[in-house]
Structure 1
């Protein structure tokens, strides 16, 4: 009953709508997919709120009238330090409430999905206890898929190991977005980087990795970033990076998003940018034939978005690669007694209560910037002092504008328009909308105020901004995802600049008010008001998330600074390549999928001599 009481209080359930009665059950399902600590924390907070209600009124939250619940919430919100906790509790509740309200309005019309290209898939439970291959690729995301395709096309016998499951386009189309969300993301989407402030850092876990759940935005690595990688790290391939970027774009069918499916969220962004004279345009995306379902972050239900399980992995399998699903790699096997020093000998993989081994002279580590350092430590290959350090993310925040007419931001392209006016200052603004309740923007208020915001969400346009950060994080541990990230002071200033720029853009587009994301002052009606609010606000008071982790096994020429050499070879052992976001030596300053694929292509081509 504690969860039912929590929901009733937070969204002012007055029993007048069918969808609100279904939210507690939806919330239970959502919590079941979260890590134990997050699940236990929400339940403990719900019990605590119930206990407070009993002390104040003699009854639990669920037994109170709506006005009594409002009174209890107001008392709790006024207590020092509790407002941030209540804002955290709102996140899973809003996800559940948004889903049920969307389902009440009926499923969005969708075209029949395209048939997925064939993949050679074998569950880990069916793989033999001992086998051999020429190369094992750990991870099937942007880097792993590209590495597998390159090696298989070079004639190697390649096995790809993926911890997650395979999900078909057809399965996306028949399930509500929230059900897919909790299954497609590691830890149900609740991966946290601890620090000042804590950051939510969602990453995918499925065949195709995070490409299954990213926005589909495909930026090329900026020239000034490539120059820095070359001059400061010695990372750029000898024949330049452009050829590899071109190939990545071809594989993904990257093109400018046509205007006809942008949706009102993107159109308002373009209108505001025109009014201000700012540089903005529809984004380049890997989604030919996009129908604007706005569900990229939970798996495209029409198959338009060319995630690597639809674009690169089919080519790898056609060239002979095989994919093993549900396969968590325990360690890279190393032959320490080989002449010339230690050399990779294969991998040991966990399945249920048992394990299997694949023997191979080449192991490509592509488990992602958060998992690859842990794997290397488990394998006894984590001695380099910089392994797991240098973690760069894109800290991000969101702002919304309320308009007089309906926007219905979730009808159209999820991430539709890029605003590059402030990119030279390290701020990239993108018009981003998500299925109801699943965005990084958290609606303000509690109780009746929050319910009113939910009911009026169709009049909101949303923008997100991510900043190019200084690497300020670490991946710790061997077995569990344990992250530390402290926001750099310069980056905090960039976030505040981003909020101001997004507010200015929304007002220029005609917003009647801007929802700031600042809990103490959630709404402003003029740019001058926003300036006043921001003058008394720190970045740590914003609702922050983060995306695109990179750099934790950085590649470069300096052996003291970089755990991998310029060609992605892990130092201290032969036969181990790193070919994922880990090797990018600094923040790429844009959505990184194309950069990761280009780096993986350069690394694996150098190994095969192609």
Structure 2
């Protein structure tokens, strides 16, 4: 793809600085990591823009002078139907541009040596082997299950599709380069629907815990009560001591103020002036240096992702990890009476060859987006609710412009929580972005966008996520297709969240609010923000989603729940579900602790019953 003209137009490049010339190559590397449909969409949009330039001016974008490019963009921006096309193009260009404009300075700390893991690449693993327990996935749930069974004296093999990345390797590469490698689909997993939602999930040893914010909320008591009483997920009643154990393992503590950064401090100041409930978040990052790179792999080793905390314990107890292994199916034994029994798994190496690990117990911990397709490929997808009941915490963000520099990327990435509206399903968190990756809310094109980019250090950013109704489903067998249609009531919550975040930033002293709305990007007062919001809906916001859960939910009713109250898959013996898919409904908070407590409860209960 020829991107020089597109980049020059969007960034109003006049040739006065060197960094814009490097953006096209960086953009090519970003696009190369995306799935084919996403790349095709961007290429089609670029081709359409080039065609428009030729039809209007007789010349390609790259050959136009800056004034002609600016005029062309202005004519496009005046056409409302083309705004989605321009947004599609702007996101990857801004990622590439910010990385080149603001290279990440080396950290003034030496990365510690990681705890040892017993990792073997799939190409070096035997074609056939055995284990007492095979765990599919090494994230929050899989790591806890592996540790539990290994400590009980069982032989455990963990299969992980992604690679193992060391803390030292994170510090050697730009955040954007790590982003495209550490996330499935290069970070471009999309839930199609009305509107489509970006739904990033990790793929590495440690799963999404490698790339989450480190925020550690305990499952709210009212959620646990509902899981037990309304769904019959009785294990929720025993989460208390298990959450305590997980918090000790991850070394969870309230984040100290001295490393919070201006982004979090401004959020707390605004909340204090409004009298709202707020405070520094509890996180699994003792000794955090405020590098603001949690979501692309912590380069200091402070964040206790499971590859630094739980998996080392599992390996010390004898568990082994196979990397680069995509599990194709669960092997089943149909010879005995009743339902089939698990007999192991079949996995594919990167070169296409296959391996088998035979064993009587399989733990599916591939995540809420991958567990349903795996079960379908295995002939275990017959339950009508498998893949349904998907919650994703729809989210949006707002920025506030301040007179003094904020430099939001210096400090904790997700630093402060504002819980004033949490009982209404809205959780606000002060959330910055890694250096060079925080320009999604910037409005405008060409010279306006360039001006916004150069003033980005004056922005503070807030994010809000919604405790949503289960409006999605995961389809597919070999390829995962996620469908999610925003419930109108959740759309109303998102609009409430935008207003609340704007009010909070104004109370903290912001001179202007950037709404993320393409047709009304700025507001300088709460009245102006209210007026803008009356003219739009949540479907016009820049939305993303996080924390998929619920697609193989546990519960007492066999008609509603693919897994029984103890996390055992219905319709088969020897298959446990121990990831976010087993949670009966939206946990209403960042779910890492909830998933880990569920996996611990399911594994320990199986040992009590069967071990």
Q: Please give the range of the TM-score, normalised by the shorter of the 2 chains.
A: over 0.9
Match of 2:95 in 1: 95
The within-5 A match list for 1:87-166 is 87-103=87-103, 107-166=105-164
- Tell me the distance in 2 between the aligned counterparts of 1:330 and 1:514: 48
- Tell me the distance in 2 between the aligned counterparts of 1:210 and 1:440: 23
Deviation at residue 108 of structure 1 after TM alignment: 4.5
Match of 2:51 in 1: 51
Q: Find the partner of 1:234 among 232, 236, 243.
A: 232
Deviation at residue 236 of structure 1 after TM alignment: 3.0
Contact 2:162 2:203 in 1 (8 A): yes
Contact 2:389 2:471 in 1 (8 A): yes
Match of 2:172 in 1: 174
The within-5 A match list for 1:396-475 is 396-439=395-438, 441-475=440-474
- Tell me the distance in 1 between the aligned counterparts of 2:439 and 2:141: 26
Which stretch has the larger CA shift, 42-51 or 265-274? 42-51
Contact 1:169 1:299 in 2 (8 A): yes
Task: Give CA-to-partner distance per residue, 1:313-370, whole Å, 9 cap, x none.
Answer: 0000000000000000000000011134310000001112210101000000000000
Match of 1:86 in 2: 86
- Tell me the distance in 2 between the aligned counterparts of 1:395 and 1:439: 19
Match of 1:76 in 2: 76
Match of 1:368 in 2: 367
2:347 match: secondary structure: strand
- Tell me the distance in 2 between the aligned counterparts of 1:556 and 1:259: 41
Contact 1:283 1:416 in 2 (8 A): yes
| Distance change in 2, residues 1:114/1:436 (3 Å) | closer
Match of 1:597 in 2: 596
Match status 1:494 vs 2:493: yes
2:279 match: secondary structure: strand
Match of 1:479 in 2: 478
Which stretch has the larger CA shift, 107-116 or 413-422? 107-116
| Distance change in 2, residues 1:238/1:67 (3 Å) | closer
Contact 1:150 1:605 in 2 (8 A): yes
Deviation at residue 442 of structure 1 after TM alignment: 2.6
Contact 2:342 2:361 in 1 (8 A): yes
Task: Give CA-to-partner distance per residue, 1:121-152, whole Å, 9 cap, x none.
Answer: 00000111111000000000000000000000
Deviation at residue 239 of structure 1 after TM alignment: 5.7
- Tell me the distance in 2 between the aligned counterparts of 1:492 and 1:424: 16
Task: Give CA-to-partner distance per residue, 1:428-457, whole Å, 9 cap, x none.
Answer: 000000124534843110011111111000
- After TM superposition, the score normalised by the length of structure 1 is 0.98
Match of 1:61 in 2: 61
Deviation at residue 241 of structure 1 after TM alignment: 1.2
Which structure 1 segments of 5+ residues have no match?
A: none
- Tell me the distance in 1 between the aligned counterparts of 2:2 and 2:177: 22
Match status 1:5 vs 2:9: no
Deviation at residue 80 of structure 1 after TM alignment: 3.8
Question: How many pairs were matched up?
Answer: 608
Match of 2:35 in 1: 35
Match of 2:381 in 1: 382
- Tell me the distance in 1 between the aligned counterparts of 2:442 and 2:236: 49
1:364 match: secondary structure: strand
Task: Give CA-to-partner distance per residue, 1:547-580, whole Å, 9 cap, x none.
Answer: 0000000000000000000110000100000000
Contact 1:217 1:286 in 2 (8 A): yes
Match of 2:394 in 1: 395
Match status 1:546 vs 2:535: no
Contact 2:554 2:561 in 1 (8 A): yes
Runs (4+) off by over 6 Å: none
1:320 match: secondary structure: coil
Which structure 2 segments of 5+ residues have no match?
A: none
- After TM superposition, the score normalised by the length of structure 2 is 0.98
- Tell me the distance in 2 between the aligned counterparts of 1:82 and 1:438: 25
Which stretch has the larger CA shift, 198-207 or 347-356? 347-356
1:97 match: secondary structure: helix
RMSD: 1.1
